[in-house]
């Protein structure tokens, strides 16, 4: 089935913008903009008009396309199983066309330029990537079980970087032999792919794979679920490869017995990141870890495949299109966690960590709730 074969099949029924129990809107870009055009069905209809030449490229159109956080809630909840798996392919197809036209919103353009020039989306010289990690060894396949791929966000964003530091510290504490690509790590390219810049994505992916091969990596652990996803599911569609990929939480769970099982008396909850959850269907690893330490684990009512995306996927972490208006999904998430009555909202993705921390600050709730990732949490409380 071609993407253009399904465009006209959307019935604009709107199942796609809800979680399974319909409790509230679950499409982060719709939550921000509230115009139907920013819902998955709206995108389908508008893209069709545009492809058929009845709508011209406009700033609004570009905003509609690029504010999709690729959270895949729609893919999971569209009422039509025959074509719902292709919704994001449709959106990407349109973005690819925009890229071909050379007409994308300024923040998207800036991101891609950075990525092209600096091999990371932050536009920071690569040599600064691991300034924080001077103590960490360079990966040596003879010595290390794992190659830790840290990724752009956890290297360059100060908040997300805490997550990388904690993971490194925790890995050391539980004696996981690992190394990093101290001088060679580059972006994983996923956001280029999501933004429709497929050529740049391929170039980056090809280079990164070469590096993985050159250092004879076998088991690669990622901090970001986004990296894990792109390595496991997108790279193989373009390249032959033979590596094992893990998320850092997998390694923690493997080694739980090396941590003292001191019970933590905190009320906590967990925010499922889209790329580990809905995309890779891993809903258990983090829960296993947390329930190992905590008695009071509470579920947010939108959890697992119904999780409400933080709004940072699909490049929105960089372009901030989902953060344009006063309301946004990250703020809603913080309010939900507070209403649940937890002290701590745990995440397992650097993008979620930043987005939710930002939301908490903007809401002035800094002292009401902690947002931290699994490794930070363990280091702080175990």
Task: Write down the least CB distance from residue 275 to other proteins, Å.
Answer: 26
Q: Which partner from the list other proteins, ligand SF4, none does 21 bind, CB cut-off 5 to 8 Å by kind?
A: other proteins
Tell me if 281 contacts other proteins by CB under 8 A: no
DSSP string computed for 22-68: --S---HHHHHH-SGGGSHHHHHHHHHHHHTTSS---HHHHHHHHT-
| Token digits of residue 36 | 């139907």
Binding mask 87-106 for ligand SF4 (x = CB under 6 A): xx------------------
What are the CA-CA distances from residue 2 to residues 41, 90, 93 (Å)?
Answer: 18, 9, 10
> Measured from the CB atom, is 14 or 313 closer to other proteins?
14
Binding mask 56-85 for ligand SF4 (x = CB under 6 A): ------------xxxxxxx---xxx---x-
Q: Quick one: which of 3, 14, 192, 250 contacts ligand SF4 (CB under 6 A)?
A: 14
Alpha-carbon gap, residue 107 to 87, rounded angstroms:
24
Other beta carbons within 10 Å of 137: 13
Q: Which partner from the list other proteins, ligand SF4, none does 350 bind, CB cut-off 5 to 8 Å by kind?
A: none
Among 8, 85, 14, smallest CA distance to 52 is for: 8
> Measured from the CB atom, is 28 or 121 closer to ligand SF4?
28
> Measured from the CB atom, is 166 or 306 closer to other proteins?
306
Angle among Cα 238, 240, 245 to the nearest 5 degrees reads 95
User: What angle separates helix 329-340 from helix 350-362, to the nearest 10 degrees?
Assistant: 80
Task: Write down the least CB distance from residue 195 to other proteins, Å.
Answer: 19
Tell me if 34 contacts other proteins by CB under 8 A: yes
Give the residues lining the site for ligand SF4 (CB under 6 A): 10-16, 27-29, 40-41, 43-44, 68-74, 78-80, 84, 87-88, 309
């Amino acid at each position: 089935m071609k993407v253009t074969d399904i465009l006209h099949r959307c019935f604009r029924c709107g199942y796609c913008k809800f979680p399974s129990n319909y409790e509230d809107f679950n499409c982060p870009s719709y939550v921000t903009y509230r115009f139907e055009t920013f819902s998955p069905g709206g995108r389908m209809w508008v893209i069709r008009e545009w492809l058929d030449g009845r709508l011209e490229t406009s700033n609004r159109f570009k905003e509609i396309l690029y504010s999709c956080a690729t959270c895949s809630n729609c893919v999971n909840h569209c009422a039509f199983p025959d074509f719902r798996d292709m919704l994001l392919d449709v959106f990407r197809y349109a973005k690819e066309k925009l890229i071909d036209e050379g007409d994308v919103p300024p923040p998207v353009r800036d991101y891609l330029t950075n990525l092209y020039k600096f091999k990371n989306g932050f536009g920071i010289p690569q040599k600064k990537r691991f300034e924080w990690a001077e103590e960490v060894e360079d990966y040596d396949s003879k010595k290390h079980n794992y190659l830790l791929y840290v990724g752009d966000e956890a290297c360059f964003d100060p908040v997300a970087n805490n997550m990388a530091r904690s993971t490194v510290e925790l890995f050391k504490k539980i004696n996981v032999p690992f190394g990093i690509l101290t001088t060679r790590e580059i972006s994983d390219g996923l956001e280029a792919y999501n933004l429709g810049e497929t050529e740049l994505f391929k170039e980056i992916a090809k280079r990164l794979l070469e590096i993985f091969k050159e250092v004879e990596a076998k088991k690669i652990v990622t901090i970001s679920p986004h990296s894990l996803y792109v390595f496991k599911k997108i790279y193989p569609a373009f390249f032959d490869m033979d590596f094992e990929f893990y998320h850092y939480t997998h390694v923690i769970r493997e080694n739980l017995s090396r941590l003292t099982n001191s019970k933590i008396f905190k009320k906590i909850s967990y925010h499922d990141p889209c790329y580990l959850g809905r995309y890779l269907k891993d809903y258990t690893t983090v829960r296993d870890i947390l329930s190992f330490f905590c008695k009071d684990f509470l579920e947010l009512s939108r959890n697992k495949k119904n999780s409400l995306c933080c709004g940072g996927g699909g490049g929105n972490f960089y372009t901030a299109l989902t953060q344009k208006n006063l309301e946004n999904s990250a703020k809603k998430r913080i309010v939900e966690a507070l209403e649940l009555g937890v002290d701590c909202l745990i995440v397992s993705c650097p993008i979620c960590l930043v987005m939710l921390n930002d939301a908490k600050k903007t809401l002035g709730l800094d002292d009401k709730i902690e947002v931290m990732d699994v490794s930070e949490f363990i280091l702080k409380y175990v």
